[in-house]
């Protein structure tokens, strides 16, 4: 009896402890520091909300994340669909191709994009050699290069989450649709797509929240106007050495992320992502 | 579509030498069959016998490696599933979980017709009424019991009045009582709509109860085709005899012939004269003697009434089942099971020396299957 009750705690214990010590405690320290650097004071929050820069960067961050999520969804959904509907052999090959970039560190991938997209990079040179352009395009250090880099890095997350959700769609339902007169496209529109929506909601949320905190990729590929909130936090803490302000901006990011998750969950119950019913 | 076929609401289906391999497994082995328009045909067999594969080929979910399916005389291997004018009931029902009962049932109509809203509603309501679910259109499938889901699946399959209905173990997930009730309903639905029903089951009682024609399958081949009565009374093989109902199969050998009777020596030493058609097993052939348990009588002592064939034995098991008693008797020819209807058998007890007997006309000689 007591062993039966102890077991869940034994299994959960290590991960709970780990998260307490290395996640919740630092977050707590950060929140405390945002108000107590020089005695208790909300000065840091005052400057966050009165300096336009912070809010502008927060908006840029939300906008970039939204575009990245949309890009990942547009590219990822067809790929996940192909994965979910392929035979075992093609599926295995495709999965390797999807996961392969995941094994490569994203700093390396961001640098690779610099090489590809730079003024004398592969892309510009190819376009010039083909005679399509006369002078190199400035692609690097724009919103576009940030989006391209981030979409490429986050695509596997989107694809794998969508794929997992699509695998749970009973293939018998598609047979039933066909047997009752639905063409492949009607079957997709009326049956497969609606049933994949919970997976779409979940995958979008995951991608969006992950991209909110991106640092390296926008730092390497973006221009000054494309600064994201994580870069700002680094600048404030390591260049300006203003720890309470950096903490306050971090708390802002944390609150915005949590708020999005909570609101989103109200509309598109996240539980469905993990197989629960609506 | 032929003019004659167009008059009947049911499709005529012809299977011509259907062959299908999965890797090295021969799932269908030259399956040929003619299904008359409007009939209720059941594919019966153990799992792996090819019955569901046959249905999937007819539905178009699988392509045969060889052979062709003809519906109303036209080959359909190039027609995709959604243009085959089918209705289908799946064992798992495969109801669309994101649609209401109404939308599930309306689905085939929306795919195949451009009915105005009023007529669509009327057709859906009529289909729901046919399966006794009127008024439940607003529910979602997960809010229904298994039996109700089964009815929704049936209504969806019927609503567009397809000429051919495919049913893959549609009652397999229901409990026994509900299953028997639905068997009766399925039959009356079949009579009401007149479509051709192709039905797959591994349940022999279900096959006998519902079908005009039963197709017994085994290892990807058709073992025998016939009406339930023919199959039960005159099985062509030991497999069919054993699969349909229960059977006493006593091993023996034909030792000679006398006119239209065969002289039979059972392995335990009993010698019998058995009525026998001329194209049955020849003299010298190893055979099995089929005796249905309901034809077997058990007498105390060692003698039966005149004219019956008798084997002595000892009662080894008595199982009282209410409407009948199953008596198992150990004999020199092996175990013989008798089903005694009603109150009969009350005088028997374990260990009693008895004589089992049957009327000579109730037996059938079957070729012994190789390896048995």
pLDDT over threshold 50, residue A273? no
Q: Which residue has the tokens 């991938």?
A: A109
- Closest CA of chain A from B283, distance in Å: 52
Check residue B9 and give its pLDDT. Answer: 87
Please compute the mean of the pLDDT values over residues B9-22 and round it to a whole number. Answer: 96
Most A-contacting residue of B59, B79, B90 (CB-CB within 10 A), to test interface: B90
Q: For B86, name the nearest residue in chain A, comparing CA atoms only.
A: A179
Q: Is A169 on the interface with B (CB under 8 A)?
A: no
So where are chain B's domains? 3-238, 246-299+308-367
Q: For A184, name the nearest residue in chain B, comparing CA atoms only.
A: B82
Check residue B1 and give its pLDDT. Answer: 42
- Closest CA of chain B from A180, distance in Å: 5
Q: Is A126 on the interface with B (CB under 8 A)?
A: no
**Is B269 buried (19+), middle (13-18) or exposed (0-12) by CB count in 10 A?**
exposed
CB under 8 Å to B273, separation ≥6 — which residues?
B258, B261, B262, B263, B264, B360
Between CA A171 and CA A154 the distance in angstroms is 28
> Element (H or E) spanning B279, and its range?
none
Check residue B170 and give its pLDDT. Answer: 95
Please compute the mean of the pLDDT values over residues A71-76 and round it to a whole number. Answer: 97
The DSSP bridge pattern shows strands B196-201 and B40-44 to be parallel
pLDDT over threshold 80, residue A4? no
Using a CB-CB cut-off of 8 Å, the residues of chain A touching B84 are: 179
Check residue B256 and give its pLDDT. Answer: 87
Between CA B312 and CA B318 the distance in angstroms is 17
Q: Which of B82, B94, B98 sits opposite A194 (nearest CB)?
A: B98
pLDDT over threshold 60, residue A271? no
Q: Is B82 on the interface with A (CB under 8 A)?
A: yes
Check residue B304 and give its pLDDT. Answer: 58
Using a CB-CB cut-off of 8 Å, the residues of chain B touching A180 are: 82, 86-88, 107-108, 111-112, 156-157, 160
User: What CATH number does the domain located at B3-238 have?
Assistant: 3.40.50.300
Check residue A56 and give its pLDDT. Answer: 94
Fold of A44-274: MetI-like fold (1.10.3720)
Using a CB-CB cut-off of 8 Å, the residues of chain A touching B95 are: 176
Question: Would you give the DSSP letter of residue A24?
Answer: I
Check residue A163 and give its pLDDT. Answer: 96
Please compute the mean of the pLDDT values over residues A40-52 and round it to a whole number. Answer: 90
pLDDT over threshold 50, residue B4? no
Structure tokens at A26: 């630092």
Q: Is A177 on the interface with B (CB under 8 A)?
A: yes
Contact flag B96-A176 (C-beta cutoff 8 Å): yes
pLDDT in tens, B238-274: 999 999 988 999 999 999 888 778 889 999 999 988 8
Between CA A19 and CA A26 the distance in angstroms is 10
Between CA B77 and CA B60 the distance in angstroms is 7
Please compute the mean of the pLDDT values over residues A175-183 and round it to a whole number. Answer: 97
Q: For B92, name the nearest residue in chain A, comparing CA atoms only.
A: A172
Contact flag B60-A178 (C-beta cutoff 8 Å): yes
Find, among B1, B31, B11, B25, the residue nearest to B216 by Cα.
B31
- Provide the strand spans (E) within B219-352: 221-226, 248-258, 261-266, 271-275, 286-291, 297-300, 309-320, 324-331, 334-341
pLDDT over threshold 60, residue A254? yes
Confidence of residue B303 (pLDDT cuts 50, 70, 90): low
Q: Which residue has the tokens 């994201």?
A: A228
pLDDT over threshold 90, residue B284? no
Confidence of residue A187 (pLDDT cuts 50, 70, 90): very high
So where are chain A's domains? 44-274
pLDDT over threshold 60, residue A272? no
Say how many CA atoms lie within 13 Å of A20 toward its Cβ. Answer: 6
pLDDT over threshold 70, residue B148? yes
Confidence of residue A107 (pLDDT cuts 50, 70, 90): confident
More confident residue, B284 or B145: B145
Check residue A275 and give its pLDDT. Answer: 41
Contact assessment for residue A80 and residue A166, using Cβ atoms and an 8 Å cutoff? yes
pLDDT in tens, B191-225: 999 999 999 999 999 999 999 999 999 999 999 99
Contact flag A175-B94 (C-beta cutoff 8 Å): yes
pLDDT over threshold 50, residue B3? no
Dihedral angle at the C-alpha atoms of B175, B181, B186, B189, nearest 10 degrees?
-140
Q: How far is CA B278 from CA A207, B159, B191, B257, B258, in A?
A: 79, 51, 39, 9, 11
Q: Is A275 on the interface with B (CB under 8 A)?
A: no
Q: Is B60 on the interface with A (CB under 8 A)?
A: yes
Contact flag A170-B92 (C-beta cutoff 8 Å): yes
High-pLDDT (> 70) share of chain B, %? 96
CATH class name, domain B246-299+308-367: mainly beta
Using a CB-CB cut-off of 8 Å, the residues of chain A touching B164 are: none
Structure tokens at B348: 């028997």
pLDDT in tens, A116-168: 998 888 889 999 999 888 888 888 999 999 999 999 999 999 999 999 999 99
Find, among A254, A250, A276, the residue nearest to A265 by Cα.
A276
Confidence of residue B280 (pLDDT cuts 50, 70, 90): confident
Between CA B68 and CA A171 the distance in angstroms is 25
Structure tokens at A6: 């102890």
Contact assessment for residue B263 and residue B273, using Cβ atoms and an 8 Å cutoff? yes
- Closest CA of chain A from B111, distance in Å: 5
When the pLDDT of each residue in chain B is averaged and rounded to a whole number, the result is 91
Confidence of residue B276 (pLDDT cuts 50, 70, 90): confident
Check residue B258 and give its pLDDT. Answer: 81
CB under 8 Å to B123, separation ≥6 — which residues?
B109, B115, B159
pLDDT in tens, A83-94: 999 989 999 999
Contact flag A180-B111 (C-beta cutoff 8 Å): yes
- Least trusted range by pLDDT, from A227-236, B64-73, B302-311, B320-329: B302-311
Check residue A40 and give its pLDDT. Answer: 85
Q: Which residue has the tokens 């997992």?
A: A164
More confident residue, A71 or B343: A71
Check residue B113 and give its pLDDT. Answer: 94
Check residue A3 and give its pLDDT. Answer: 61
Q: Which residue has the tokens 């090295």?
A: B24
pLDDT in tens, A196-224: 998 999 899 999 999 999 999 999 999 98
Q: Is A132 on the interface with B (CB under 8 A)?
A: no
- Closest CA of chain B from A166, distance in Å: 14
Confidence of residue A173 (pLDDT cuts 50, 70, 90): very high
Q: For A175, name the nearest residue in chain B, comparing CA atoms only.
A: B61
pLDDT in tens, B326-344: 999 999 999 999 999 988 8
pLDDT in tens, B93-146: 999 999 999 999 999 999 999 999 999 999 999 999 999 999 999 999 999 999
Q: What is the ipTM of this complex?
A: 0.85
pLDDT over threshold 50, residue A66? yes
Confidence of residue B2 (pLDDT cuts 50, 70, 90): very low
Contact assessment for residue A136 and residue A120, using Cβ atoms and an 8 Å cutoff? yes
Q: Which of B61, B94, B111 sits opposite A181 (nearest CB)?
A: B111
Confidence of residue B302 (pLDDT cuts 50, 70, 90): low
Check residue A138 and give its pLDDT. Answer: 87
Per-window interface: B 134-173 vs A, CB < 8 A = 142, 156-157, 160, 166
Q: How far apart are the first and last CA of chain B?
A: 47
Contact assessment for residue B110 and residue B120, using Cβ atoms and an 8 Å cutoff? yes
Check residue A267 and give its pLDDT. Answer: 80
Between CA B135 and CA B151 the distance in angstroms is 13
Between CA B27 and CA B29 the distance in angstroms is 7
pLDDT in tens, B40-54: 999 999 999 999 999
């Amino acid at each position: 009896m007591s062993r039966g009750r102890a077991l869940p705690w034994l299994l959960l214990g290590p991960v709970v402890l780990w998260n307490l010590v290395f996640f919740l405690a630092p977050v707590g320290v950060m929140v405390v520091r945002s108000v107590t650097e020089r005695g208790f004071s909300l000065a840091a929050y005052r400057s966050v909300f009165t300096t336009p820069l912070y809010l502008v960067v927060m908006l840029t961050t939300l906008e970039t994340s939204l575009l990245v999520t949309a890009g990942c969804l547009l590219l990822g959904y067809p790929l996940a669909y192909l994965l979910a509907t392929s035979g075992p052999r093609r599926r295995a090959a495709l999965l390797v191709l999807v996961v392969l970039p995941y094994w490569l560190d994203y700093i390396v991938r961001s640098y690779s994009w610099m090489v590809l997209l730079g003024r004398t990079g592969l892309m510009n040179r190819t376009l010039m050699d083909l005679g399509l352009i006369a002078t190199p395009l400035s692609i690097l250090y724009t919103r576009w290069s940030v989006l391209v880099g981030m979409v490429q890095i986050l695509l596997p997350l989107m694809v794998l989450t969508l794929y997992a959700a699509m695998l749970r769609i009973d293939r018998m339902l598609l047979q039933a649709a066909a047997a009752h007169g639905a063409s492949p496209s009607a079957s997709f529109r009326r049956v497969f797509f609606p049933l994949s929506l919970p997976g779409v909601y979940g995958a979008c949320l995951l991608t969006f929240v992950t991209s909110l905190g991106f640092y390296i990729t926008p730092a390497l590929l973006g221009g000054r106007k494309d600064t994201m909130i994580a870069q700002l936090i680094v600048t404030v803490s390591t260049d300006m050495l203003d720890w309470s302000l950096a903490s306050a901006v971090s708390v802002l990011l944390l609150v915005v992320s949590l708020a999005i998750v909570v609101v989103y969950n109200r509309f598109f119950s996240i539980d469905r992502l993990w197989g629960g019913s609506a | 579509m032929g003019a004659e076929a167009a008059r009947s609401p049911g499709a005529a289906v012809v299977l011509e030498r259907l062959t299908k391999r999965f890797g090295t497994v021969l799932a269908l082995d030259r399956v040929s069959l003619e299904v008359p328009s409007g009939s209720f045909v059941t594919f019966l067999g153990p799992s792996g016998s090819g019955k569901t594969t046959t249905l999937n080929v007819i539905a178009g979910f699988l392509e045969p490696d060889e052979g062709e399916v003809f519906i109303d005389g036209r080959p359909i291997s190039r027609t995709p599933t959604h243009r085959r004018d089918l209705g289908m009931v799946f064992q798992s029902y495969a109801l669309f979980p994101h649609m209401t009962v109404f939308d599930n049932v309306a689905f085939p109509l929306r795919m195949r017709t451009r009915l105005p809203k009023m007529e669509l509603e009327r057709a859906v309501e009529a289909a729901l009424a046919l399966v006794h679910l009127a008024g439940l259109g607003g529910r979602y499938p997960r809010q229904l019991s298994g039996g109700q889901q089964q009815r929704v699946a049936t209504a969806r399959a019927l609503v567009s009045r397809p000429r051919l209905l495919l049913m893959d173990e549609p009652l397999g997930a229901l409990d026994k009582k509900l299953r028997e009730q639905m068997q009766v309903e399925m039959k009356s639905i079949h009579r009401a709509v007149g479509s051709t029903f192709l039905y797959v089951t591994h349940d022999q009682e279900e096959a006998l109860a519902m079908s005009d024609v039963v197709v017994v399958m085994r290892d990807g081949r058709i073992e025998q085709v016939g009406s339930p009565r023919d199959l039960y009374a005159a099985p062509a093989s030991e497999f069919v005899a054993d699969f349909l109902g229960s059977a006493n199969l006593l091993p023996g050998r034909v030792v000679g012939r006398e006119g239209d009777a065969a002289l039979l020596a059972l392995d335990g030493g009993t010698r019998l004269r058995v009525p026998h058609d001329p194209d049955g097993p020849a003299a010298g052939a190893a055979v099995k003697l089929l005796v249905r348990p309901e034809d077997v009588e058990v007498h105390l002592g060692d003698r039966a009434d005149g004219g019956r064939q008798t084997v002595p034995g000892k009662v080894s098991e008595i199982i009282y089942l209410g409407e009948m008693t199953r008596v198992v008797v150990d004999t020199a020819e092996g175990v013989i099971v008798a089903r005694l209807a009603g109150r009969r058998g009350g005088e028997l007890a374990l260990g009693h020396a008895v004589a089992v007997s049957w009327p000579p006309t109730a037996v059938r000689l079957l070729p012994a299957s190789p390896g048995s």
